[in-house]
Structures are given as structure tokens and as C-alpha cells.
Structure 1
Amino acid sequence: MAMNIERDLHMATGDGQTSYTRNSRIQEKAFFQIKPILEKATRDVYTALLPRTMIVADLGCSSGPNTLCFISEVIGTIARYCKEVGLPHDHPQLQFFLNDLPSNDFNNLFKLVERFNKLTARNHQGEAPPPCYISGLPGSYYTRLFPRQSVHLFHSLFCLQWRSHAPEGVKGTRKTHQDKGDIYITKTTSPTLVKLFQQQFQRDIALFLKLRYEELVFGGHIILTCIGRKHEDVLRGESNHHLYGLLAQSLQSLVDEGLLKKEKLDSFYLPVYSPSIGEVVAIVEKSGMFNMNHIKLFETDWDPESHAVHDSVSSGVNVARCIRAVMEPLIASYFGETILDRLFKEYAHRVAKHLEKEKTKHAVIVLSMKKRCYMKTGTYSSNSFTESLQRAMIYGIRKRKLPL
């Protein structure tokens, strides 16, 4: 069966042992790292624009608890700010949209939202939090999702390494002898294939930025966190080369055992690309649509439980669970469900052997940006005077208690 991104690209469903809900600790640890950046962006948006209804979107929310951590952080930031300025009960209304592809397990997500609402109400019995409304929004973030200039804050965690589809140009073509068995870029990948991956990334991100620019209010912010790479040289040995290379080796072992057809593996590519900071900056600057407030790279262990685990075998199992929670639906759709247990057992073994030799980490890029104001001359400017005047007018209207 051919790969269909909208149908096949979603995290493992439900809340069982192999589900994303139970195996998203890597994402949780990354979110903890970006919390100060999120808090600053939230405060900046709110204090600059003072919206009575603040529209916030989590793109690629998936079906686990991390999107609720994001919601909680935004609510807490607004509540703290209102208390600091002496308006503890003058909260804006917060409308959250949780976006992912239609195949996402929204049913499981809504169950978590119900628990979250009850917990929030219990934790704020003495002091009411900002009114909060949460909705699901199925659809690809490589399409328009919102009305023009309607969103104040966008957030996306561990999603933009995913492409809209496998690299253009590889569909219907055969891998060279050099590329046989590759499902992503490795040290030996042919320059032609590397270029196809890079070009697909550039097209997708340019489109993503254009769409989000149209949907953001002027002065709105966007925070993007994705799996990246440390070095500008894409062929240099990096975390994801090893991570996906070991998965390719595990699939090849099933071919050797006669459990998979060689032709099937040779036609399979992961629709991912891990960019460098330089690549991200180049695309943002070329777009001319955003001012970058903050960009940095940090690292996190492959094994999210590495602090409590002291042997490579256990770490191999942990890493395999995390990757299975992400890759299982894609692999099951393309190769069939019957190979899953055997595949990820082999993968855990190969990861353990790799970790015995080196303790590899994920490289994570976080980027915070603000939408630029468009000038009639055709140039872009942050136009701080106009923004300050707009803020003063909005604040004056609110003080007079007139509707916006």
C-alpha cells in the first residue's frame, strides 16, 4: 500500500503500553526546556495587544498529555500577569485550538481534556483561572487553518521535522546501489537523494511560514520546537542518522529473514528532515515575514529515563518504545502490523549495542518569532511606534469598558 500522510501519519493511539500517551517523555522533557521562552512570548503578546479573547493554537498536538502542559502554562502565565498588575479578575477569555491531522486520536485527547478541566477547576477553587475553551481542529498545518489575522499565539512541539510527504522526485524511482536500505539520510546517501530531502524541507517550511503569517494578528508570536541537527553538513554523522539508520537495519534484518520483501523496503522513505539552525534562519530571513526573538539548540538523551537507568539494554527498550509510539502507524500501514513486535525487539537490541559505544542525544531547535508589520512601501518593519500606539488605544478602550 502506498504511503498516505493524512491517513498514516499519527502517533500510536489509545493509552496502552505502546501508545504515544505513555511514551512521550522525550517531548515532555523538551517542553520543560522551552517553558521560559513560552512564558515570555505569552506575556509579550498579551501585554502588547491586550485581547479580550486570546486565540492560541497548538499545531501537531497529537493525543498525549503534553499539549495539556502547554495549555496549563499559557493559562498560568496570563493569570500571574493579571495578578501582578492588580487585575486578578480581569482575565481575557482563552480559546485554544488543538490541531493535528484527521487521523490523530482526538477521542483519547478529548478524554484527557475532560480530566484536565476537572483538575484545573479543583486547583483554582480559591481563585478563578482565566475562562478557557478548548476545541479540536483536524487538518494539515501545510494548509490554511484559521481566518486571516485571527490567532495571537502559535505553538508546535516536535512536529516540523515531519514533511508534507516523502521527498518529491523519489516516488516511483529506485534507490541507487549507494542508497539501498536507506530510509533517511546517512553518511553514504547519494547527493541526489540528500538534495531531494532538503528541497522538500525548504518548500514545506516556506509554505508553513506564509500560512501562519496570514493567520497571525500583527504582533502575534509563534514558537516552534523541532528535532534538528548540530552541524551544517547534512552528511556528518548525527543523532537522527543513527536513530533512523538503526531502524533501517532492523527492517533489513526482517528482509534477511524473509519476513519483508526487499522491494518494499527499497521503496520506503521516512517523510522527515532534521534541519540545522543555519537552514532554519535562512528560510525565516528569506521570507521577510517574522522577527526572530530567540533561537537556540539544546540536546536531550535518546532515553528519557536515562537518569534512572544504568544499563544499555534497558535504555534500548526505552528508546524503542518512544520511537515505536511515533513510527508504528506509518510502518504498519506500509509493511503490515504483523512485523511490529519483531521489528521493535530487533530495534531495541540494535539501539542498546549502539549506546554501549556512545551516548547519543537528540538535537532540538527552538525558535520564537514575532509577526512583522507590513508597510505600504512594500518593506517589512517591526514598527514599534505603531504597535505602542495600538496598545495604548486598546488599553484606553478597555479602561472605558467599551467592547472591542
Structure 2
Amino acid sequence: MDMTKVFHVNGGDEETTYAKNSDMQKRALSLEKSFVEEALLDYLGGKDFPEKMVIADLGCSMGPNALTPTKEIIDVVRDQCRKLGRRSPEFMVYLNDLPGNDFNNIFTSLQPDFYSKMREEEQCCVAGVPGSFHGRLFLSKSLHFVHSSASLHWLSQVPSGLDAKSGSMLNKGKIYISKTSSKAVVDAYKQQFHNDFSMFLESRAKEVIPGGHMVLSFMGRESIDPIVEECCYPWELIAQSLMSMVSEGIIQEEKVDRFNMPCYIASIQEVKTIVEDEGSFIINRLEAMDLYWDVDSSCEGENALLSRGERVSRMLRSILQSTLSFHFGMELMDELFGRLSDIISSHLSNIEGKFVVLILSVTRQ
């Protein structure tokens, strides 16, 4: 599975679009605000105050959250410049995601409100940069500040040896690491994340100026155990939905056996070790925070009228549909996510579902 060609959130204006089902991601962005402000104030407190500031948002996606980090970063810089009696720098903002992302949605939303506000005091230019952040994207020593939210748990590919082309079926009936997964499956996922995150850091090390900062947030875990329930059960519930369709002859069992989700939920210690081993960045803060699947009071619009299971199922569909439909077929997506909605509703009646978000702040040495 070529992630650069397959993976993207749902664009358009339908009920399952990412733009209408990203309330949880909005809450995730709020968790990292203190990290972003702290990193920016540290950078602006340096000896060389920038006349131009280049910002990259990696995995920007689309919808109402796409420009939120950029606005908040620029607001912090502006406020600090006022306090210091300095002229605010000009801004160059790069919005990055995979080529299948709905960049048109983002650039349509730039006009007129974003530009009219951002250009009140200084020049602000915005450009889209399609491509994988697992490799190089920008010129050497060109970035002052890098941000990424809810993206780095996605791998560049299904772990080597588990993809359908290899003919392996080491993870039968599952789509991610589970309590029944063999050591070979767990090790394959760990190694793929190690390779991808190391490459991400190596690439950014070439692009970020000395003293530049990055704030990265992504799904993770506090436990050293990779099969801890809180990071496995979202994928386990999707696997249950698929296997229920297998039991009724809707999907062939081999189809499920050959599918593995291209993501990894890393531990704090794994992230810390990889950053330290790569050696280009100093860790300023690394913390884990809880993000609950569904909070009724936070939902807006028509989503407020849905059941908890329907809301969470729609959120997952808005992110995962492209990957799942590529393997199982678009014609099965309504059935799959309808079943998932019921399974999630049952699950949430017994346990409060949550993700763990890792937030990492680093400085380029």
C-alpha cells in the first residue's frame, strides 16, 4: 500500500467529511497550546531576532482546524513583538500533507478572512507543499518553527513483512497489534515506527535552522506495553466489525487477514529514545495527555444530534475510509461503519474510551 497515493481524510461536503467530523482533533490542538507558546517565546528570546519567519505545519489536513495552528503561532509572535517593542517579522507558512489531501478546501478558506487579518500588520504568504513528511520537503536550514498534530502515528507503509504483497498472514483476524498478536507482528510495527520517526527527524534536522523549534503531537501511550488496551481497542473494534461481515459472507476472511493498519501507537520511552539516538534535537518537554473519544458538550452542528457511537464512527470514517476502501471496496463502507457505530455504542456503555496524546517540544541543536 503506497500511503502517498492511498491515504487522505475525506474531503468534500458530505456528512462523513473530515471537516464535519474533527471535533476531537480540535480538542487535541487545545492540549498543545502551552507547548507552542513556550517554544515560540524561547525562540524569540534568542539573540538573533528574525526579520522573516518560516513556519511549516506538517499533516495539516483540511477543514476548520487546518489553519488554527498557523493563526495561533502568528498571534503569539505578534503579541511578543508588541511586548518587546519590535516589528513583527514577515511570515512564510508552508502547509503540508499527502497529495490526496483537499488543498483546495484550505486555500478557499484563506480568502478573505485569513489574509485580511494576517496582513493587517505584516506580510503573510501561504503555500501548499504536497508530499510525505517522512522524507525531505524543504530547503536546508530554511525553517524556524515546525508544527504537526495528529499525524506522526501514521507510518509511511504497512510494516515490512505484513503487507499483502508479502503473502504473510501473521496477524489473522486483526488489523493492528492485539493481545493475540505474535512477537513478530509487534516487532514489525516497532521497527517500522523506529525507521519512519528516525527519518522524519533526520529530514527535519536538515531543514530546521539551529535554534529552531518543533512542537509535535500524535497518538501514543504511557505504558511500555504495546498491547495496552487504550491504544489497541479502536483498531480492535474495527476488526470486530470486519469479522462480523466475514461471518455473514460479506467479506472474505483472507481479505481481513491480509490487511494491517499503517500506524503505530508509540510509548513515551520509545519516542524519547529515538530523539536522543538521532541526536539533532534537544527535548524540552515530552508529556502524555488524555483525549476522550467523545464529549457530548463539545460537539457542534448536526453531530450534536447523533449517538456517541455514531459520532465516533463518523470521526474514524472521515480519517480511515480512504485506506479501508482501497483494500475492501468503497461499496462496503456504509455497512462497515454502520456496524462499527453499534459496536462503539456498546463499548462506550461499559468503558470511557480515550486516546493518549504525546506532545513533544524540541530545539534544533
Could you state the TM-score of these two structures normalised by the residue count of structure 2? 0.94
Q: CA deviation at 1:119?
A: 6.0
Give the Cα–Cα distance (whole angstroms) in 2 for the partners of residues 211 and 110 of structure 1.
26
Q: CA deviation at 1:115?
A: 4.5
- 2:58 is the counterpart of 1:59: yes
Indicate which of 3, 6, 15 corresponds to 1:5. 3
C-alpha change, 1:117 and 1:145, in structure 2 (3 Å) is same
Post-superposition Cα deviations, 1:298-318, rounded to whole Å, max 9, x if no partner, equal 001111436679x9x811111
Q: CA deviation at 1:47?
A: 3.2
Give the Cα–Cα distance (whole angstroms) in 2 for the partners of residues 145 and 262 of structure 1.
39
Aligned match of 1:208: 200
Q: Which runs of 5+ in 2 are unaligned?
A: none
- 2:359 is the counterpart of 1:366: yes
Q: CA deviation at 1:251?
A: 1.1
Give the Cα–Cα distance (whole angstroms) in 1 for the partners of residues 88 and 341 of structure 2.
48
Aligned match of 1:100: 97
SS in 1 for 2:106: helix
State the one-letter code of the partner of 2:353: T
Q: CA deviation at 1:194?
A: 0.5
Give the Cα–Cα distance (whole angstroms) in 2 for the partners of residues 331 and 315 of structure 1.
22
Aligned match of 1:272: 263
SS in 1 for 2:262: coil
Indicate which of 232, 237, 240 corresponds to 1:246. 237
Indicate which of 290, 296, 320 corresponds to 2:287. 296
Where do residues 213-362 of structure 1 align in structure 2 (5 Å cutoff)?
213-238=205-230, 240-305=231-296, 314-362=307-355
Q: Give the stretch that moved more between structures: 166-175 or 298-307.
A: 298-307
Aligned match of 2:152: 160
Q: CA deviation at 1:15?
A: 2.8
Indicate which of 126, 129, 143 corresponds to 2:121. 129
C-alpha change, 1:150 and 1:220, in structure 2 (3 Å) is same
Q: Which runs of 5+ in 1 are unaligned?
A: 373-404
Give the Cα–Cα distance (whole angstroms) in 1 for the partners of residues 43 and 22 of structure 2.
29
Q: CA deviation at 1:116?
A: 4.0
Give the Cα–Cα distance (whole angstroms) in 1 for the partners of residues 127 and 169 of structure 2.
43
Post-superposition Cα deviations, 1:2-30, rounded to whole Å, max 9, x if no partner, equal x2211111101123211111111111101
Where do residues 8-157 of structure 1 align in structure 2 (5 Å cutoff)?
8-48=6-46, 49-87=48-86, 90-117=87-114, 120=117, 128-157=120-149
- Greater C-alpha radius of gyration: 1
Q: CA deviation at 1:237?
A: 2.0
Give the Cα–Cα distance (whole angstroms) in 1 for the partners of residues 357 and 239 of structure 2.
22
Give the Cα–Cα distance (whole angstroms) in 1 for the partners of residues 245 and 214 of structure 2.
42
SS in 2 for 1:218: strand
Post-superposition Cα deviations, 1:83-140, rounded to whole Å, max 9, x if no partner, equal 11223xx22100000001111111111112224425626xx8xxx3332111100111
State the one-letter code of the partner of 1:343: L
Q: CA deviation at 1:322?
A: 0.7
C-alpha change, 1:323 and 1:281, in structure 2 (3 Å) is same
Give the Cα–Cα distance (whole angstroms) in 2 for the partners of residues 86 and 76 of structure 1.
15
Give the Cα–Cα distance (whole angstroms) in 2 for the partners of residues 186 and 141 of structure 1.
28
State the one-letter code of the partner of 1:38: V
Paired residues, number:
358
Could you state the TM-score of these two structures normalised by the residue count of structure 1? 0.85
Q: CA deviation at 1:188?
A: 1.2
C-alpha change, 1:118 and 1:155, in structure 2 (3 Å) is closer
Conserved 8 A contact 2:161-2:168: no
Give the Cα–Cα distance (whole angstroms) in 2 for the partners of residues 100 and 91 of structure 1.
28
State the one-letter code of the partner of 1:110: F
Give the Cα–Cα distance (whole angstroms) in 2 for the partners of residues 290 and 270 of structure 1.
29
